[in-house]
A and B are shown apart, each in its own frame.
Chain A
Amino acid sequence: GNSVTQMEGPVTLSEEAFLTINCTYTATGYPSLFWYVQYPGEGLQLLLKATKADDKGSNKGFEATYRKETTSFHLEKGSVQVSDSAVYFCALGGQGGKLIFGQGTELSVKP
């Protein structure tokens, strides 16, 4: 069945460091791929998405490219800020609109 595997956390970085959070998926067909962010005590917010191979989603300095050949959707940001500290979830759009999530990666950015 469809599944998502994310890089384990927690990830701790200094402010302005480069961020990569790995995400790979297993799926039949051509699902949409998403990154969601969860700030402490809050629900999930959509960060970016890509709907087909080679699409690049981007938002707030974050980027991820839908790579069909490597079944990956890695999240990157060139220069992280303290305010980026959160849990990041990679997700795959399944049948009927339901989402299949990775286990989440906690990011902590230190000043």
Chain B
Amino acid sequence: NAGVMQNPRHLVRRRGQEARLRCSPMKGHSHVYWYRQLPEEGLKFMVYLQKENIIDESGMPKERFSAEFPKEGPSILRIQQVVRGDSAAYFCASSIGPEKNTEAFFGQGTRLTVV
């Protein structure tokens, strides 16, 4: 049973370009969470999605960031018109449900560098 798969592992974008980060959850998991880890900081929650629905996007920046989790295919975190401050590691986690003691499994992350 493959774990949470994220790709690409490393992504370099010039300022103003778009970044697309993909996350395939573990088999059987329909709940996906995206987190951002800025240098020297902990992980900050961005968005929680279930298949075809955004459940909680309270951690998403209001502009340029969007996320989706279609019925078929991976979850996508999209950053438009990237800026240097978007450089960070982006982690995806999946779980079987939102219950408070349910384990979330993390992918290896995508490290975005904006030049």
Contact = CB atoms under 8 A, between A and B. Distances in A.
Interface of A: 6, 31-32, 36, 41-46, 49, 51, 89, 93-104
Nearest to A105: B42
Residue in A31, A36, A97 whose Cβ sees the most chain B Cβ within 10 Å:
A97
Interface stretch (B13-21, B80-88, B97-105): B97-105
B48 A98 contact: yes
Prevailing SS type, chain A contact patch: mixed
Interface string B9-44: 000000000000000000000010101000001111
B55 interface: yes
Contacts, number: 67
A42 B106 CA distance: 9
Nearest to B33: A98
Interface of B: 4, 6, 31, 33, 35, 41-45, 48, 55-56, 91, 93, 95, 97-109
Contacts of B48: 96-98
A80 B109 CA distance: 27
Nearest to A87: B42
Contacts of B108: 41-43
A96 B41 contact: no
A43 B95 contact: no
A97 B44 contact: no
B54 to A, nearest CB: 11
Contact of A96 (B44, B93, B98, B106): B98
